[in-house]
């Protein structure tokens, strides 16, 4: 009798989905607030107000940190090439779409290396570190600390214009590496003490974070724009 090789299923740990779900909620809040300000419905200062300066950086941190955990969770100790490269192509395609659309609509602020671009490159760069948690920790701390605290270290490329979303590979790749270390120390097994309805909602958002990332801003922007047109 012929036997089929069945790939062992990786257990689903809800913490990673919930973490991404929190990032999605914060992202929607930030972008909706940004759109309201753009059309004059609100007056937040995104440059000088610490909360609005810190919020987008927290969002990126959560996305990259959870990516480091989930990559190890799905592909350690053995890389599942098919699912890995399908996901890589999906995220990379999303990054390319973001660049194209923003170039056409906002040519003076278009996104050439944003969050999805950083995740795409980091997904490849993280592979040699998945089995080296202490090396990942050392480099994961060294990259952001050297750049953000001591103002030195490798500099990622940048174009002359001010992009709407610029997430340089260095030092942000360090946050992904911290996710590797967290995985090897069991952070993905943590159970968050929240009401079940909230947990289920966050898990749903986390599991569909890529789709929500792609579609939420056009929907928010379009809605606010429509209201603005009606009230003119």
pTM of the model: 0.93
pLDDT of 6 strictly over 50: no
pLDDT of 157 strictly over 80: yes
Q: How far is CA 118 from the centre of its chain?
A: 8
Write down the pLDDT at residue 5.
43
Tokens of 19: 């973490």
pLDDT of 34 strictly over 90: yes
Q: What is the mean pLDDT of the chain?
A: 94
Domain count, the chain: 1
What is the average per-residue pLDDT within 25-34? Answer: 98
Q: Say if 8 falls within a structural domain.
A: no
Tens digits of per-residue pLDDT, 98-135? 999 999 999 999 999 999 999 999 999 999 999 999 99
- The pLDDT-based confidence of 47 (bands split at 50, 70, 90) is confident
Cβ-based neighbour number of residue 103 at 10 Å: 14
- The pLDDT-based confidence of 4 (bands split at 50, 70, 90) is very low
Q: Say if 9 falls within a structural domain.
A: no
Q: Say if 222 falls within a structural domain.
A: yes
Q: Domain range holding 181?
A: 14-231
Q: Say if 159 falls within a structural domain.
A: yes
Tens digits of per-residue pLDDT, 48-100? 999 999 999 999 999 999 999 999 999 999 999 999 999 999 999 999 999 99
Q: Say if 6 falls within a structural domain.
A: no
Q: Say if 7 falls within a structural domain.
A: no
Q: Say if 107 falls within a structural domain.
A: yes
């Amino acid at each position: 009798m012929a036997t089929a090789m069945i790939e062992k299923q990786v257990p689903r740990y809800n913490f990673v989905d919930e973490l991404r779900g929190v990032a999605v909620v914060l992202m929607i809040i930030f972008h909706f607030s940004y759109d309201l300000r753009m059309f004059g419905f609100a007056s937040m200062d995104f440059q000088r107000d610490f909360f609005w300066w810190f919020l987008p950086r927290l969002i990126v941190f959560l996305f990259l940190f959870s990516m480091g955990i989930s990559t190890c969770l799905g592909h350690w100790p053995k890389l599942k090439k098919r699912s890995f490269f399908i996901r890589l192509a999906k995220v990379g395609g999303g990054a390319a779409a973001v660049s194209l659309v923003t170039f056409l609509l906002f040519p003076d602020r278009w996104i050439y290396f944003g969050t999805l671009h950083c995740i795409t490159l980091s997904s490849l760069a993280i592979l040699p570190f998945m089995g080296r948690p202490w090396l990942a920790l050392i480099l994961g701390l060294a990259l952001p600390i050297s750049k953000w605290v001591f103002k030195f270290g490798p500099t990622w490329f940048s174009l002359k214009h001010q992009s709407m979303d610029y997430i340089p590979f260095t030092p942000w790749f360090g946050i992904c590496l911290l996710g590797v270390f967290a995985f090897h120390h069991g952070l993905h097994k943590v159970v968050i003490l929240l009401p079940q309805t909230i947990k289920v909602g966050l898990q749903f958002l986390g599991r569909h974070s890529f789709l929500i990332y792609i579609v939420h801003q056009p929907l928010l922007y379009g809605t606010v724009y429509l209201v603005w047109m009606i009230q003119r």
